[in-house]
Structure 1
Amino acid sequence: MSNCLHTSLLRTRVIGGLLLGLLCPLPLASAADPPVQEESDAIPVVNAPDVMISATRTPTSIGNVNQSVTIVTEEQLQLQMAASSSRSLGQILPKLVPGMSQNDQSMDSGTTLKMRGRSIAILIDGVPQQSSPTTELDLAHIDPSAIERIEIVRGATAIYGNGATGGLINIITKKAGEGKPAFYTEVQGSGSLTRVLRGLSGTVVQGFQGKKDWFDYNIVGTFSQQGGIFDSEGSRTMPGTNATGGFADTKTYNILSKFGATFGEHRFQLTFNRKHTRQDTNYLVDPSVDALPRTTARFIPGLALDDQPKLTNTQVSADYTHPHLFLDSRVHLQAYYRSQQTRFPTFDVRPFGGTDILQGHNQTDVLGTRLDITTPIPIYGKPQITWGMDFSSQHGAQHSTLYDQSVYDATGGRVYSKAGEVPSSPSRVFTTTAVFAQGEWTPLAALVLRAGVRHERVKVSSSDFTDSTTFLPASSISFDTTVFNAGFVYHLTDPLDLFFNFSQGFSVPVGTIDNALGNVPPGTAISLSRLQPQRVNNYELGLRGNWSKVQGSVSGYISKSDLGLNFDQFTNSLQRAPQTTYGVEATLDVQPYEGWRIGGTYTFVEGDQTIALSPDVRTPLNGFSIQPQKITAYLEHLTVPEWQWRNRVQVLYSGSRTRSLTAFNSGLDPTGDPFSMTEYFVVDLVSTVKAGPGTLRFGIENLLNQKYVAAFNQISFLNSFHYAGRGTTAMIGYSMTY
């Protein structure tokens, strides 16, 4: 079987190489891709936007940021959606961002998405998306049609608080309009080419923006319907069905509305965003597949389930900004409210020692405020300090629907008959309060120094809880965490910068706290070592260059934690142990001739830990934290300038990785992965052309119809979690502004 796979991969590489050689007019994408300006006949130089705020919480030139950063523009998202029928940020971003792991093609689950082997904090307009009870579906809270740009900070940072031990993704929604009313319309359809006339999907986007005197507005509505998903052999596949929910057979709508008022230098803005996704399918995983030798999951019809998985996220924020309020300070004040409702797939816990067939559903409501003040200091070197505070209070509750086991067993897992509804844990309040200060100083024209500190207090409280057998009294636990960062950027020459960064990040193990506070009998002490925040020390050294026809970066890092977090599927629990991750990231974009672009990214990450059973042995981190090396590449060409016809081929290569029990631990400890990760190679094709008043886009996902299983899904014990990836899928869309 492995020989067949090797032969298939070799054949794929040869075909892929010939294709790239023959289709020179075609294109690809990278993390540093520039906007596609339709009014220009030439492909623009690859330069990231000049302002990047997520690493500093104040407008800053990227050249002055001493961290690895990536900007994904609205134009890049439009291009990538032509090769992603599910419109999934979790599948788009790993193709563009080095250091970011690949999604398992589920609903953007934080379980599988990592940055540098650690967790990622997701923000929308600066509002944290993390929830307690945890759901880890943060990237699924907004549709790409509502996004202006995405700012990614790679590496630990605490500038926004809890969760960013591996990196930060701040999604910036579309800004309000300017001038007379303007409309934007987009339609897109897609379908499988391995199962023709099946799996048809469609999306409609309508936007409306403008400005009148002091008032401006922008409204964007999106409706999508995703049909079935099929693998390279035409068999139905439903990634995410048994874990966090998948995209197959779903209906989604997203509404973004933004209203602003400007009076002199005073700016007020109200933003509303709501994303709702619901699955409605007749298919379920064949439960008999787990009894077979290693194979991919199979899906069969006959599911009878009234309440299928869904996710609803509603966010409202009010912002006030002034560039020169006092002491010539820039002030930004934000208040926000966020509500999230999640219904997960059903789960039979009996094979894992439980007694029920259940379906969890969570409700989280969040109130918060953020204050950022940037104050210049009128002395040599023009230093400035950004300081302020953050506060949030989350109220969460988790319930479970129980299903009749006899009906389930008699129908082979097809029919779910409700047997009751129970609270599965106490309601809880998750409160954070933080103060911070971040300084920047330029003592020399070629040198920028930056340092900062943040102190955060986290308190988690649970209410009294009673079920049929147990009474748990109210309980609480608090943490105080102080983290630092320091570094510099040195401009070696005009196009070349050297940067160094030391940054600390921290992450409260929300899932562990949820379980502990919900399942601790009276009189039992909670293990504080398991509940303490994970503090990470991250050291990074890099080079960043921006020449006229070449742009690139390379960085190396090491990240250490005395109390790391890693899921162990052998014991079905989180391990807390000293951890180290390290790696190398690189990007390259070249414009060798007019109308041509070529480039890509490289990611290497590894990690190990020391666990209690063998404290003298460094054991490798498993595939829940570390994925194989990743290479992305693209070739892009402006084929017919007068038609603005551009073509792009993009490639994603995922390597192999073996971290098994026998290879590394000699059977001493239940760590590692039960299966190896094998390599695969996926090619996408995207073409855009001016057509009438708008732009026509055509894309093919998995052009070579590669049969593969995403890296994360290759390590599961169960065949029912071993999902095949999507086979060749074609998409066509049209958009225009009028």
Structure 2
Amino acid sequence: MPHLIHNLPVDLNIRSLRGQLLTSLFFSLVFIFCQSAVVRGQERSSAGLSIVGTVTDVDGRLLSNVTLTVNSGKSSQTDDQGKFSINGLSEGAQRVTASLVGYQTETREVQVTTDRNTKISFVLQTGNDLSEVIITAGRKPESLKDVPSSVSILTARDIKEQLNVNPSIAAILGNTIPGLGTSNNKATNSGQTLRGRQVLVLIDGIPQSTPLMNGSRDIRTLDPAVIERVEVIKGATSIYGNGSAGGIINFITKKPVADRAFSGTTSMGFNGNLAHPSNTLGYRISQGFSGTVNKFSYVVNGTYNYTGVLKDAKGNVNSQPDGLGENSLYNAFAKLAYKPNEHSEIVASYNLFRSVQQTDYINVPGKYGMSPSIGVKGEDPGEAAGTPYNHNALISYRNNNLPLASSLDVSAYLNSFVSMNRYVEKGTAWFGPGQTKIQSYKKGLRLTLNTPWKLGDFGQGELTYGLDLLNDRTNQVLTDGRVYIPDMDMINLAPYAQLNVDLMTNFVLKAGIRYENAKVKVKDFNTIATGDNGAGSTAVTGGEIPYNATTFNAGLRYNKYDIFNPFLSFSQGFAINELGRILRRATSSTLESIATDPIITNNYEAGFSSRLGIVNLTAAYYISTSNLGANLVDVGGFLVAQREPERIQGYEITADVYFNNKWTLGASYSYVEGKAEQEDGAKVYMNGLRIAPPKATAYLGYRPLTSLDLKLLWVNTGSRDRFDVRANNLYANSEGPVKQINLFNFSAAYRLNTQWSAGLGVENLLNNDYYPVVSQYRAIDAEYVRGNGTTMSLNLSYNF
């Protein structure tokens, strides 16, 4: 069968490229220093009237990254000194809103005069996150206090802080988001489920996940340098469709700077193993530009990140399959926006992500439970593993001035994604050596309309409704041309509607419906041979597989009192998950006889948020069920999807304490457990691929100076031992016991002045000798690899 999706031609001379990048960085810095004064002078002369000022907390601490928005639509953010400037305004009354996660939103009225610079200052009170505006949960901007479900948000400041410790976004999320599994120190996010189920990953609403055949590389699909914030919606959500059974991770990319025609950030850094530094030096270079010129605005960013040799606490080289040692990451991002008037906007963006491993080491398998796999000098005959490329292109149009006070948001997108797995010298699923790659190509259209309404004294609300159209074409082939999974061509048309009602002032009721109408076309194919001369291959007649389902959601939140803000919710999720695994292990000759029914997930949740003076507290308990799951179980040495009833339940607790302007303290704990019901009625535990051990996190923040932030972070993964060894006296794949892990990380940020800042991060501060969770539960000799030893990162940034 011809390949429908091909890799881009890539022929990169790594050493030459690194030299060119360093040279380009040098000239960029020279250009920046020479031009910044001229540009600022031009900005001052060309800008209209301005609102300038500072933002502090109640203790007088200057707050950075505060979002300032005026009613005309212009916005800005405070710098490291808490200062902001919103330019290009007209004379007259303006309403200015200041918001920051962890603080109560404040709105002020100000009269802009011809004095050019109208001054204003904000003092924000500490509070919970309920004043923060999010866009993912309801596909429109809304306050957290109106969302009847669990939501976690990472701001740009949070990401920058964690970036000092580890630049991998999978590690950043694993260390900070309750309910999400920890990172596995690899280029994949295998086992990093959310509340025991697969998560749908989006970039500005563009799906990155490949649910038809899960390649477990969807979380790590862009660099943190281009992320404005991350919104994590937990639990099944019927408003987004295929693949969101566990929830949604939406990466929201950076917005243009509104008050300058030309600005940017230059960052560079180095990292390496402190205890065993030889050959471990890595470096990172990132350059971004941003600005607004009249009705146009732009963001451009390029990042290159090279990771040196990774070593464990004892100095052994970690050269695990799909590892991050000697990994090169490239990320190019561009966004252009045009506002024809104050009511509408057109945005076009493009993101290219590439991350591959080209190493001088090969993995020598150890013995599970006894000795680790280590890297030794050698040559891997396969192609570089990782993500050869991930392209995202998006164009969107927004208008908030339609009849009936309605608003429109329509987006068209393309996504092309290739995931290259490691080379296998002797395959178990096919004959001889081989290396597979998952190829996925998506194109789609998302239409969202929003109409407010009011019904006398009964209440008021809004209706969000629209249509999603998605074409997802995915396959998995070997680099030698053999087909492992045939081309699966899915077209999904899904109308939806979501009603939001404000009842009696402080009750928020949400209810919605979505109809999934999907068809997957598969041509005639042969399963891959497991022996010579086509032995073990089955001929399967292709056809069309229909999927139809109606999913519902409903939730209620009471938001009158900060001391107790409870919610209840029910939501269903839809997924055509792991269809590829089912097809590639087919033993029947027709599609009709293969069990390919979708997964309909029912998610029940109750929780609350609370603010008690200086303490912010959240808690949630959830139950997630499905009549037909897709639990992967080791059957004869192969992971086979079991279509069995599943029940998952768990809880999450978070707490943050703001003692004063110097000290902060926070902690979280998340627990999840799940079982599947077999044909005989027996209920068995689900393995580590789905269920992560309990996770606890904590941090202690100290700010001795307004320019210096110090933070100590603790990540604990608990133990989980649910399975016995099988008849061969070995644990089955992904059923190994997991022992407790304690890791301490440290982050420091110092602002030298308004332009220069430095960051220091230390991962595994105590050089703990440990095996990551995935290394333990996989129970495979080759994947029994220790975690990284103490690694230090030093970063320097210049803002202009």
1:460 to 1:56, Cα distance in 2 relative to 1, 3 A: same
- Out of 235, 259, 275, the position equivalent to 1:155 is 235
AA aligned opposite 2:207: P
Rounded to whole Å, the distance in 2 between the matches of 1:569 and 1:348 is 21
- Counterparts of 1:37 and 1:546, CA distance in 2: 28
- 1:576-632 per-residue CA deviation (whole Å, 9 max, x = no partner) reads 2111111110111101223110011110111112112x41x3222222211211110
Asked if residue 256 in structure 1 is aligned to residue 256 in structure 2, the reply is no
Task: State the match for 1:7 in structure 2.
Answer: none
The one-letter code sitting in structure 2 at the alignment partner of 1:725 is G
1:650 partner letter: L
Residue 568 of structure 1, CA deviation = 1.4
**2:751 counterpart residue number:** 690
Residue aligning to 1:205: 286
Q: Is the 8 A contact 1:659 1:673 kept in 2?
A: no
Letter in 1 for 2:288: G
Partner residue, 2:606: 541
**2:790 aligned with 1:728:** yes
**Equivalent position of 1:115 in the other structure:** 194
- Structure 2 residue 646 is matched with structure 1 residue 579: yes
705, 708, 719: which one aligns with 1:645:
708
1:231 Cα shift? 0.6
Q: 1:446 aligns with which of 490, 496, 506?
A: 506
Distance in 2, Cα, partners of 1:108 & 1:306: 18
- Asked if residue 219 in structure 1 is aligned to residue 300 in structure 2, the reply is yes
1:715 counterpart SS class: helix
Matched AA of 1:182? S
* Aligned twin of 1:78: 160
Q: Distance in 1 between matches of 2:325 and 2:470?
A: 34
Q: Take 1:281 and 1:570, find their aligned partners in 2: how far apart are those partners? A: 33
Spell out the pairing of 1:540-619 with structure 2 (5 A cutoff): 540-571=605-636, 572-612=639-679, 614-615=680-681, 617-619=682-684
Which of these residues, 259, 275, 280, is aligned with residue 358 of structure 2? 280
Residue 223 of structure 1: how far off its partner (Å): 0.7
8 Å Cα contact 2:217-2:419 kept in structure 1: no
Normalization by structure 1: what TM-score?
0.86
1:674 is displaced (CA, Å) by 4.5
Residue identity opposite 2:721 in structure 1: T
1:492 Cα deviation from its structure 2 partner: 4.9
Q: Is the 8 A contact 2:271 2:793 kept in 1?
A: yes
Q: Measure, in 2, the Cα distance between the counterparts of 1:118 and 1:293.
A: 27
- The structure-2 alpha-carbon separation of the partners of 1:100 and 1:425, relative to structure 1 and needing over 3 Å to count, comes to closer
Residue 710 (structure 1) shift: 1.4
Task: Work out which structure has the larger RCO, using CA pairs closer than 8 Å and 6 or more positions apart in sequence.
Answer: 1
- Pair 1:362–1:604, CA change in 2 (3 A): closer
Aligned equivalents of 2:313 and 2:169: distance in 1? 22
Contact 2:383–2:423 (8 Å) recurs in 1: no
Report deviation, 1:516.
4.1
Task: Extract unaligned runs of 5+ from structure 2.
Answer: 1-76, 84-99, 104-125
Does 2:374 align with 1:374? no
> Are 1:129 and 2:208 counterparts?
yes
Change (3 A) 1:527 1:587: farther
Q: Give the corresponding residue for 2:554.
A: 486
SS of structure 1 residue aligned to 2:333: strand
Offset at residue 37 of structure 1 (A): 6.4
Name the CA shift for 1:293/1:117 in 2 (closer, same or farther; >3 Å): closer
**Residue in 1 aligned with 2:221?**
141
| TM-superposition CA deviations, 1:128-159 (whole Å, max 9, x none) | 11224442211121101010000001111121
After TM superposition, the structure 1 = structure 2 runs for residues 9-24 of structure 1, keeping only pairs within 5 Å, are: none
Match of 1:628, SS state, is coil
Tell me the equivalent position of 1:24. none
Question: Which letter maps to 1:588?
Answer: A
- Other structure's SS at 1:157 match: coil
Between the aligned partners of 1:674 and 1:367, the Cα distance in structure 2 is 37
Change (3 A) 1:586 1:522: closer
Structure-1 separation of matches of 2:383 and 2:583: 28
Whole-angstrom distance in 2 between the partners of 1:516 and 1:507:
14
| 1:214–1:480 distance in 2 versus 1, CA, 3 Å | same
Structure 2 letter corresponding to 1:250:
N
The secondary structure found in structure 2 opposite 1:427 is: strand
Compute the displacement of 1:727 (Å): 0.6
Residue 308 of structure 1 and its aligned partner are, at CA, apart by: 1.4
Equivalent positions of 1:93-104 (< 5 A) are 93-104=173-184
Could you tell me which runs of 5 or more consecutive residues in structure 1 were left unpaired when the two chains were aligned.
1-34, 402-419
Aligned partner of 1:626 among 686, 691, 705: 691
Contact 1:702 1:726 in 2 (8 A): yes
Alignment of 1:329-408 (within 5 A): 329-350=406-427, 352=428, 354-380=430-456, 381-401=459-479
**Cα deviation 1:254-295 (Å, max 9, x = unaligned):** 0110001101112101010110112111211114x35x7632
Query: For 1:214 and 1:673, how far apart are their aligned partners in 2?
Result: 54
| 1:711 paired residue number | 773
Match of 1:38 among 60, 67, 80: 80
Give the C-alpha shift of residue 238 in structure 1. Answer: 3.2
Aligned residue in 2 for 1:476: 544
CA contact (8 A) 2:331 2:353 kept: yes
Residue 121 of structure 1: how far off its partner (Å): 0.6
Shift of 1:670: 9.6
Q: How far apart in 2 are the matches of 1:605 and 1:474?
A: 39
- The verdict on how the C-alpha distance between 1:353 and 1:373 changes in structure 2, with shifts beyond 3 A counting, is closer
Deviation at 1:523, TM superposition (A): 3.9
1:189 alignment counterpart: 270
1:366 and 1:723 mapped to 2: Cα distance? 35
Instruction: Check whether the contact 2:382–2:435 (CA below 8 A) recurs between aligned residues.
Output: no
Q: What do residues 31-62 of structure 1 show as CA deviations (whole Å, max 9, x unaligned)?
A: xxxx9962249997465362111111111100
Q: Tell me the residue number matched to 2:381.
A: 305
| Equivalent in the alignment of 1:5 | none
Matched, 1:654 2:735: no
Deviation track 1:637-663 (CA, whole Å, cap 9, x = no partner) reads 11122xx1110000001111110137x
CA deviation after TM superposition for structure 1 residue 496, in Å = 2.6
Q: 1: distance between equivalents of 2:571 and 2:435?
A: 40
Deviates more, 1:157-166 or 1:710-719: 710-719
Give the drift of 1:462.
1.6
2:676 maps to 1:676: no
Aligned residue in 1 for 2:398? 321
Paired residue secondary structure (1:387): strand
TM-superposed CA distance for 1:305, in Å, is: 2.4
In 1, distance between residues paired with 2:79 and 2:235? Answer: 31
Shift of 1:252: 1.1
SS in 2 for 1:631: strand
Is 1:271 paired with 2:349?
yes
Partner-residue secondary structure (3-state), 1:358: coil
Deviation for aligned residue 1:445? 1.1
Q: Shift of residue 520 of structure 1?
A: 4.5
Q: Letter of the aligned partner of 2:150 in structure 1? A: S
Taking the aligned partners of 1:527 and 1:555, their CA distance within structure 2 comes to: 41
2:147–2:557 CA contact under 8 A, matched in 1: yes
May I ask how many residue pairs the two structures share in their alignment? 666
Q: Distance in 1 between matches of 2:586 and 2:179?
A: 38
Contact 2:361/2:375 (8 A) holds in 1: yes
Aligned Cα root-mean-square deviation (Å): 2.4
Of 495, 499, 508, the residue aligned with 1:435 is: 495
Deviations 1:61-114 (A, max 9, x none): 001100000110111111001111xx21211112211111112111142x3111
Separation of aligned partners in 2, 1:297 and 1:671? 18
Letter matched to residue 779 of structure 2: F
Report the CA distance shift for 1:304/1:631 in structure 2 as closer, same or farther (over 3 A): closer
